[in-house]
Amino acid sequence: MKTLAELAAIKERMKDKVAIREGNASTRIVVGMATCGIAAGARPVLSTFVEEINREGLFDKVTVTQTGCIGICQYEPVVEVHSAGNEKVTYVKMTAEKAKRVIAEHIKGGKIVTEYTIGKA
Amino acid sequence: MKELSLNILDITMNSVKAGAKNISITLTETNKTLAIIIEDDGCGMTKEQLVRLSDPFFTTRTTRKVGLGIPFYRLAAEQTGGYVEVTSVSENDNPRNHGTVVTALFYTNSIDFTPLGDIISTVITLIQGSPNIDFYFSHTLINQHITLSTKEMRQTLGDDVPLDSYDVLDWIKEYLNEQYNFR
């Protein structure tokens, strides 16, 4: 059984990591989580980004945050990628599968997945 | 919404936006009903806002003129024969004791009852999005009682480990999963 005591072990493990985490993130992935986003399937999109960022060991470079309605509800789930020195990229009609490709090709590989961007929708 | 847990996520986002420090989500099931109470200590609403709450053309959002969160939730409850009731005390009326309570009752034996779905994902999404808010989650089933308190977690984790750390989110997922699967 999972116990609260296990959190003490996580705390111990995280001791050194926390300092690195703060301030160093150069990329921010923002998922729209208003009524429109949630109804269109944003919850699994968000959790896929969170899981993949961790799996790929990118947590000190990339943060995943939530926002309200971006204003283009017909394109939800909408995901914005903000990275230092680059223009914002807006991905639309996202799914968990598309999120995986964005992580692999854009976040890791530096190549925007053009076919999922708002310009192509 | 395909799952009630998505409505719960959506309605609780209002508590987050209201600047709540504490949010509790309490689910209580009997063999015929599911009661969901979402309670926060956020800024609350004035009487005028409360009256207009079910009007889809009333919203606090600035990006467009339609707000469907409460209307969706009310529809999901009423189509089972249940209801949604909102009480609120605005910060301006009572600076010391303010906040909102959204109470919903669903008849689970109704053919139009929307299944609860992945409530664990809803809890994790909320904590991931607002790691500084204290969430209390409780789900009482007929012979099971599931709880999670971030306040309790923080007592062990201290202030240095944010609740949105992946290891912590993963622990929450397993902790809740085990409680649901325990017989």
Distance, CA of B151 to CA of B157 (rounded, Å): 10
Can you read off the two tokens belonging to residue B153?
A: 């977690």
pLDDT the model gives residue A112: 97
DSSP reduced 3-state for B130: coil
pLDDT the model gives residue B51: 82
Q: For chain A, report the end-to-end CA distance as a whole number of angstroms.
A: 47
Mean pLDDT on A64-86 = 94
Number of folded domains that form chain B: 1
Per the prediction, chain A carries an average pLDDT of 91
Q: Which residue has the tokens 């223009």?
A: A87
Contacts of A72 (CB under 8 A, 6+ apart): A78, A92, A118
pLDDT the model gives residue A120: 81
Distance, CA of A28 to CA of A65 (rounded, Å): 7
Find out whether B135 and A72 touch, Cβ atoms under 8 Å.
no
The DSSP call for residue B32 is S
Distance, CA of B98 to CA of B42 (rounded, Å): 7
Between vectors from CA B21 to CA B35 and to CA A48, what angle results, nearest 5°?
Answer: 75
In angstroms, how far is CA B119 from the centroid of its own chain? 10
pLDDT band at A73 (very low <50, low <70, confident <90, very high): very high
The maximal CA–CA distance of chain B, rounded, in angstroms, is 48
* Per CATH, domain A18-116 is 3.40.30.10: yes
For B59-107, how does the pLDDT look when each residue is reduced to its tens digit (9 = 90+)? 665 555 557 889 999 999 999 999 999 999 999 999 999 999 999 999 9
Q: For the domain that residue B61 is a member of, what is the CATH number?
A: 3.30.565.10
Mean pLDDT on A33-55 = 96
Instruction: Please name the member of B121, B168, B178 whose beta carbon is closest to the beta carbon of A43.
Output: B121
ipTM of the complex: 0.92
Choice between B58 and A71, residue whose per-residue pLDDT is larger: A71
Which residues in chain A are closer than 8 Å to B161, comparing Cβ atoms?
Answer: 10-11, 14, 18
The domains of chain A are located at 18-116
Find out whether B83 and B72 touch, Cβ atoms under 8 Å.
no
- The whole domain housing B141 covers 4-181
Q: What are phi and psi of B121, to 5 degrees?
A: -60, -35
Find out whether A42 and A32 touch, Cβ atoms under 8 Å.
yes
CB contact under 8 A, A33 and B125: yes
pLDDT the model gives residue A2: 82
In angstroms, how far is CA A48 from the centroid of its own chain? 8
pLDDT band at A60 (very low <50, low <70, confident <90, very high): confident
pLDDT the model gives residue B1: 92
B161 touching chain A per CB within 8 A: yes
pLDDT lower than 50: segments of chain B: none
Nearest Cα to Cα of residue A102 among A92, A93, A112: A112
Instruction: Please name the member of A39, A47, A71 whose beta carbon is closest to the beta carbon of B124.
Output: A47
The pTM is what?
Answer: 0.93
Find out whether B112 and B40 touch, Cβ atoms under 8 Å.
no
Cα Rg of chain B (Å, integer): 17
Q: Given a cut of 70, is residue A117 above it in pLDDT? A: yes
Choice between B140 and A22, residue whose per-residue pLDDT is larger: B140
Instruction: Please name the member of B63, B69, B158 whose beta carbon is closest to the beta carbon of A11.
Output: B158
Q: Is B145 exposed, middle or buried (0-12, 13-18, 19+ CB in 10 A)?
A: exposed
Can you read off the two tokens belonging to residue B119?
A: 């409530």
> How many other β-carbons are positioned within 10 Å of the β-carbon of residue A31?
29
pLDDT the model gives residue B159: 87
pLDDT band at A21 (very low <50, low <70, confident <90, very high): low
Distance, CA of B69 to CA of B27 (rounded, Å): 19
Which residues in chain B are closer than 8 Å to A59, comparing Cβ atoms?
Answer: 166
